[in-house]
Amino acid sequence: MRRTDPSALLALAALSAVVLVCSTPLLWMAVASFRPQNFGGLDMAALWPDFMPTLANFAEALDSANFPLLYLNTVIVCAGTLGVQLVTVTLAGYAFARLRFPGKELVFYAFLLQLMLVPPILIVPNLVTISRLGLYDNLIGVMAPYFASAFGVFLMRQTFRTIPKDFEEAAIVDGANWWQLVWRVLIPLARPGMIAFGIVSVVSHWNEFLWPLMVISSPDNQTLTIGLASFTRGAESASQWGVIAAGTFLVAAPLLLAFALFQRQFVNSFLFSGVK
Amino acid sequence: MVAEAEGHAVATDTRRSVRAVSARGRAEALRAAMLLVPSLVFLAAFTYWPIGQVLVQSFTIETFGSKDVTFGSGNFERLLADASFARALVNNIVYALGTIVPSVVIALALAVGLQDATRFNAALRTVVFFPVLLPLVAAAALFMFVFLPGIGLLDYYLGKLGADNTNWLGDPDLALWSLIAITVWKNAGYYMLFFLAGLQSIPLDLYEAARIEGAGPWVRFRRITLPLLGPTTAFVLVIALVNVITQVDHVVVLTEGGPSDATNLLLFYIYQQAHENYDYGKAAAATVLSVAGLLALSFLSLRTLERGIHYEA
Amino acid sequence: MSRLASAALAAALTFSLGSGAALAATEIEMFFPVPVEGKLAKEMKNLVDRFNAEHPDIKATAVYTGSYDETNIKTRAAIKAGRPPAAVIMSANFVLEYQINDEIQPLDPLVEADGQTPDAYMSQFWPALHGNARFAEKIWAVPFHNSTPLLYYNADHFREVGLDPANPPATWAEWVDAAKKLTVRDGDSIKRYGLMIPGNYDYLGWIMTALTMSNGGLYYNPAFGGEVYYDTPSMLGALTLVDDLVRKHKVMPSGVTDGKAVSTGFFAGQASMVLLSTGSLSFIRENMKSDYGVAFVPRNLRNAVAIGGASLIMPKGLSPERQKASWTLIKWLTAPGVSGEWSRFTGYFAPNKGAYDLPEMKTFIAKNPDAKVAIDQLQYAQSWFATYNTVAVRKALEDEVQAVLSGKKLPAEALKAAQTKADEVMRPYVEQTALRLPQ
């Protein structure tokens, strides 16, 4: 049983403060999405709901873009990308973590290069490549540049490295071949890392804007962020904060739900409770 | 004769085992190659091919009005003479220090504080992670509102405490710090995720043993958690460093590098050169320098951090 | 199979495929940005659906492509990837650059194929719009929707301080005077600003153009994309006015105020007067709770503003069928009827003069007199600043103006620095054109 020491209480207080600050903008957004459009107020920022909540903002947001189709396209892109990524990064991560071969460090940094390349420079060359492959205006064209993920390889390498070799040695002693070793021993033990990577990948591709904008031309292939942008931005105009907030929730809600479910999964991982 | 036969057998055995070792080495290298090929195929098409083009472009000097090109270091010279580039570089260094340190520290604190599997913690973790889930298009609009002078979220509540209207994004002295605040807000939850994953691999019996010996929470943190989180910390620092250079969406949407280049960052500078000035040569030169710098920094940090790290043997 | 038979088969196949292709609709896509809030993307889709219904041999798709800047990036990228769109709605001041880079199609051949002369074709559009559409002796773009800056003011505030809402300020002197009366102070801090102007990139340059032109200036050389007039008395006067408004009269906030913040400030009653685009008119009309009015941009030496907005351009590299289909779409979108409809929906004014002769428009204007102000100001409007490397040249000025707004520089030195920087940016172009002399 834990004793409650004062330092624990202090830590709790500090944590709560951080969480509060973190969440204020989001609380405001939640309130704003239900607030009837009113620009007459200098108290637009009020967090305390002092009005009759309305669904008008959500209605307008839903009306401004074909959300069901956008959801579908975005799910396809995220699932497709993650599916291929899990294969490429697990294989490559294992290679860097456990195998020895000449030029290993050099190749690893060659991988890291992908992280450091910046999108503005990549747009034209990659669009030309996609186009030559016949993937222009195609969801696969949106996914293709990400099938290899230096980030994933980096994460998996480090995850595999922290798994004690005893597990592997025990398995070898039991007569497992290389493939069984990876599939039955390493991958289950690497679950927290893989789930973390999954979360990162899905979130980043769910919210990606510029590259899908460049590749996709048919409205039928557009993703959520493009739909959201179509009614929340304007160069020469005023802003409807309520509709922007409502639209944003529509885009972020599935992610939020998924995260709430998944994070308990990997935090609860039994992993190394010292039991072999 | 038996001894000779034995000696011969031993010699053959040694040769055989040496051959076996190098055969194993070759097999391992071959296996590694096979495992890396899927990634390398995509990297070749979408990373190395563009990098090659960028390299060539950075040394290509175009003249207006003709298709003639010459090769030389002219783009690099013009780049280094550009005041905006110098400003972007300085800004990026300030930005790096201002975002990496707080976000990593806060992320670690949150991960350690919220690692127990209680419902309350799960809820808090979700709240803290929410900023990461927001698409940038929306986060930008949100922060535009947060930072509105006078009626925005920040000024509204500060005003209740008696403070004056502040132009958070429009004052050249404040703008960069406002962006730093946004970045820390957005990334703390993101890095927390990796620390949480890393914490999972620390055996609980180590903590039990320490507790039995009477070590308090702070000592347990310093002696057990921190060292064993070494690889994770190295990873987070490299990612944070890379993000500092490659994440500029908020600049694009909120300030466009202004006011007067106060929030110009390296990547935004490259974006401007490529897409607003159509100066592909300079953009390519700046990219080459940024990538080289990043590679060097990553190499240094990984080398230093991973050398002193204790991997569970 | 005998040679004759296989030749016959081949011919038959080609023939059937060929006639099949002729029956299928020509597919074209049009990139468009959404520059103002509202359900513009949806409305554009409705318009294009109507077009398709009226033209069964064409299948047009309207593709939302982000902001003006993103649309620009995507269009260039698509052209480089060999997939040029059939038409693009492009910010009017970017057209020059596409022409300089030889990326768009001159429209004269298509106009003449219809049996019209280019002069006659252009005459249906307001004269102020010609500069950005027709230059270097060819028509490069067709105006789609346009705007000018307007002075919006809060009529309730006016009445509060004894000003007459029916007589808004028309000169700089009246303007400053009104702003001083409208500003509400509380000790050292300001509770309500008399005036706010947008200070973010692109908007700021546009407003500065209006102020400089109102001060008699030209701002740039419309006949040659290598000259701008930053370090001139007319602009110095305009910039000093701006500086004074912040520092001397203390009626405007210091630093950069984003366009969104300006309009939000206007709605919230935090600013009594604002300089914003006509593009905001519909939105303000629908959502402003207080009584408001619109007026010309006040003059110092003359009434003059620059237009803004977007035009339709046709990239090069299209097949003849797609060119014809694209031209049909362009003509349909810029005809009086559709032009007027889009104008009423968005708040931009219709570039096609004929739109204002139609009964729907006349009724609309009778009901909404504020829509007429932008039209009336058109007689004083000039083309939008466009040069070689427009964005960089504009940013050279805006960075300096922002420094002045933040109190970091004085107007005179700011303009000298802006001129030097701009000249530096345009030097490659100038060296190959005006300064290229026979050897």
Asked if A237's CB is within 8 angstroms of C36's CB, the reply is yes
The total number of residues written for chain B in this structure: 313
User: Chain C contact for A223, CB < 8 A?
Assistant: no
**Do C149-305+389-432 and C21-147+308-382 have the same topology in CATH?**
yes
Chains sharing 3 or more CB pairs under 8 A with chain A: B, C
Measured from the Cβ of residue A183, the count of other Cβ atoms closer than 10 Å reads 12
User: In which residue ranges of chain B is pLDDT below 50?
Assistant: 310-313
Question: Is C201 in CB contact (< 8 Å) with chain B?
Answer: yes
Residues recorded for chain A = 276
Alpha-carbon distances, residue C221 vs A151, C226, C228, C301, C387 (angstroms): 50, 8, 6, 19, 8
Chain C closest CA to B259's CA: distance in Å? 6
Return the residue of B nearest to A126 by Cα. B46
- Quote the DSSP letter at residue C350: P
- Chosen for mutation from A236, A240, A241, A244 (greatest number of chain C CBs closer than 10 Å) is A236
What are the residue ranges spanned by the domains of chain B? 1-44, 74-312
Q: Which two tokens stand for residue A158?
A: 């480090």
b/e code C15-42 from CB counts within 10 Å (16+ = b)? eeeeeeeeeeebebbbbbbbbbbbbbbb
Cα C369 from Cα C372, distance rounded (Å):
5
Kindly give the residue spans of alpha helices, DSSP state H, lying in C59-107: 68-80, 95-100
DSSP state letters, C113-137? HTT--HHHHHTTB-GGGHHHHEETT
Domain C149-305+389-432 carries which CATH code? 3.40.190.10
With vertex at residue B172, the alpha carbon angle to CA B170 and CA B177, rounded to the nearest 5 degrees, is 90
Distance CA B149, CA B174 (A): 12
Instruction: Check residue C51 and give its pLDDT.
Output: 94
Contacts of B307 in chain A (CB under 8 A): none
Enumerate the domain spans of chain A. 6-54, 62-273
Using a CB-CB cut-off of 8 Å, the residues of chain A touching B145 are: 28, 44-45, 239, 241
Residue C393 CA to residue C407 CA, distance in Å, equals 22
> Chain A within 8 Å of C285 (Cβ-Cβ)?
no
- The alpha carbon of residue B166 is apart from the nearest alpha carbon of chain A, in Å, by 15
Choose the mutation target among C402, C413, C430 for the interface with B, i.e. most B CBs under 10 Å: C402
Interface of C with A in 224-253 (CB under 8 A): none
What is the distance between the alpha carbons of residues B125 and B228, in angstroms, rounded to a whole number?
Answer: 22
- At the top level of CATH, the class of C21-147+308-382 is alpha beta
Q: How far apart are CA C72 and CA C62, in angstroms?
A: 16
Cβ pair A274:B204 closer than 8 A:
yes
Residues of B within 8 A of A11 (CB-CB) are 109, 113
Q: Determine, for residues A117 and B33 on separate chains, whether the beta-carbon distance falls below 8 Å.
A: no
- How close does chain B come to C276, measured CA to CA in Å? 17
Amino acid at C332: W
CATH class for the region spanning B74-312? mainly alpha
Residue window 161-200, chain A: list those with CB within 8 Å of chain C: none
Whether C384 contacts C307, CB under 8 Å: yes
pLDDT at residue B5, as a whole number: 59
CA–CA separation, C146 and C148 (whole Å):
7
CA distance C29 to chain A (A): 8
CB count in 10 Å sphere of residue B294: 23
Q: Which two tokens stand for residue C216?
A: 């008699």
Closest chain A residue to B130, measured at CA: A256
Subunits in contact with chain B (3 or more CB pairs closer than 8 Å):
A, C
Q: pLDDT tens, position by position, for chain C (439 residues)? A: 455 555 555 555 544 444 444 457 888 999 998 766 556 778 888 999 999 999 999 999 998 888 888 888 889 888 888 889 999 999 988 898 888 888 999 999 999 999 989 999 999 999 989 988 888 889 999 999 999 999 999 999 999 999 999 999 999 999 999 999 999 988 878 889 999 999 988 889 999 999 999 999 999 998 888 999 999 999 999 999 999 999 999 999 998 988 888 888 898 888 999 999 988 888 788 878 889 999 999 999 999 999 999 999 999 999 999 999 999 999 999 999 999 999 888 888 899 999 999 999 999 999 888 888 888 998 899 989 889 888 889 999 999 999 999 999 999 999 999 999 999 999 988 998 899 899 8
Inter-residue contact C409 to C401 (CB < 8 Å):
no
Q: DSSP letter string over chain B?
A: -HHHHHHHHHHHHHHHHHHHHHHHHHHHHHHHHHHHHHHHHHHIIIIIHHHHHHHHHHTEEE-TTS--EEESSHHHHHHHT-HHHHHHHHHHHHHHHHHHHHHHHHHHHHHHHT-S--HHHHHHHHHHHHHHHS-HHHHHHHHHHHT-TTTSHHHHHHHHTTPPP--TTTSTTTHHHHHHHHHHHHHHHHHHHHHHHHHTTS-HHHHHHHHHTT--HHHHIIIIIHHHTHHHHHHHHHHHHHHHHH--HHIIIIITT-STTTT--HHHHHHHHHHTS--HHHHHHHHHHHHHHHHHHHHHHHHHHHHT-----
Fold type of domain A62-273: MetI-like fold (1.10.3720)
C191 in reach of chain A (CB within 8 A): no
Whether the CB of A71 is below 8 Å from some CB of chain B: the reply is no
Three-state SS for chain A is CCCCCHHHHHHHHHHHHHHHHHHHHHHHHHHHHHCCCCCCCCCCCCCCCCCCCCCHHHHHHHHHCCHHHHHHHHHHHHHHHHHHHHHHHHHHHHHHHHCCCCCHHHHHHHHHHHHHCCHHHHHHHHHHHHHHCCCCCCHHHHHHHHCCCHHHHHHHHHHHHCCCHHHHHHHHHCCCCHHHHHHHHHHHHCHHHHHHHHHHHHHHHHCCCHHHHHHCCCHHHCCHHHHHHHHHCCCCCCCCHHHHHHHHHHHHHHHHHHHHHHHHHHHCCCCCCCCC
Interface confidence, given as ipTM, is 0.80
Q: Any CB–CB contact under 8 A between A247 and chain B?
A: yes
pLDDT of residue A40: 42
pLDDT < 50 regions, chain A: 1-2, 39-41, 235-238, 269-276
The residues, ordered by sequence, that sit 6+ positions from C275 with a Cβ below 8 Å of its Cβ are C149, C150, C151, C152, C195, C196, C197, C198, C207, C210, C297
How wide is the angle at C-alpha B225 spanned by C-alphas B219 and B228, nearest 5°? 135
- Plot region of C255 (φ>0 → left; ψ -120 to 50 → alpha; else → beta): left
To the nearest whole Å, the CA of A135 is away from the closest chain C CA by 12
| Per-domain boundaries in chain C | 21-147+308-382, 149-305+389-432
Under a CB-based contact definition with an 8 Å cutoff, are residues C39 and A64 in contact? Answer: yes
pLDDT of res. C48: 93
- pTM value > 0.90: no
The reply to whether C140 touches chain A by the CB within 8 Å rule is no
Residue C318: DSSP 8-state = -
